[in-house]
Amino acid sequence: MTAQDTIQKTVTHNDVVLFMKGTKMMPQCGFSSKVAGILNFMGVDYADIDVLADADIRQGIKEFSDWPTIPQLYVKGEFVGGCDIVIEMTLSGELDQMFADKGVVFDQDKAEQIRAANV
């Protein structure tokens, strides 16, 4: 199976996937830490894929999404974006709406706490 096949299978078989440096419990870069922190705080169940553990996946995800940076968030197979986009969507409420529209369970109160803390 190629890296592209593995990535496709991963985003297809998991509702929410974060390709990141490190893991959700031990991020290895600040950008990955920010996105994992948002998802963890909001109580989102997601698959965390450590791109540092596999060079083929690390390069393959950039080609798969045509996006040059990591982390990369996928929701129900759809590429959402990287750190800046996830933060922006969280603060605007767009991420909540996407989760709600796609049936992804999350804590609405926690999402509102993030926004309140960043006013």
CA distance 115 to 64: 31
Helix (H, G, I), strand (E, B) or coil at 28: coil
Q: Which residues are annotated as a binding site for [2Fe-2S] cluster?
A: 29
CA distance 55 to 2: 12
Shortest CA distance to 71 belongs to which of 115, 16, 118?
A: 16
Phi then psi dihedrals of residue 51, to 5 deg:
-70, -15
Phi then psi dihedrals of residue 80, to 5 deg:
-95, -50
Shortest CA distance to 105 belongs to which of 49, 39, 33?
A: 39
Q: Which residues are annotated as a binding site?
A: 29
Distances (CA, A) of 17 to 33, 65, 113, 116, 118: 14, 13, 23, 26, 25
Cβ atoms of 90 and 111 closer than 8 Å: yes
Give the domain ranges of the chain. 3-117
- 25: how many CB neighbours lie within 10 A of its CB? 8
For the entire predicted model, the pTM comes to: 0.96
Given this structure, which CATH class describes domain 3-117? Answer: alpha beta
Q: Residue-wise pLDDT tens for the chain (119 aa)?
A: 899 999 999 999 999 999 999 999 999 999 999 999 999 999 999 999 999 999 999 999 999 999 999 999 999 999 999 999 999 999 999 999 999 999 999 999 999 999 999 98
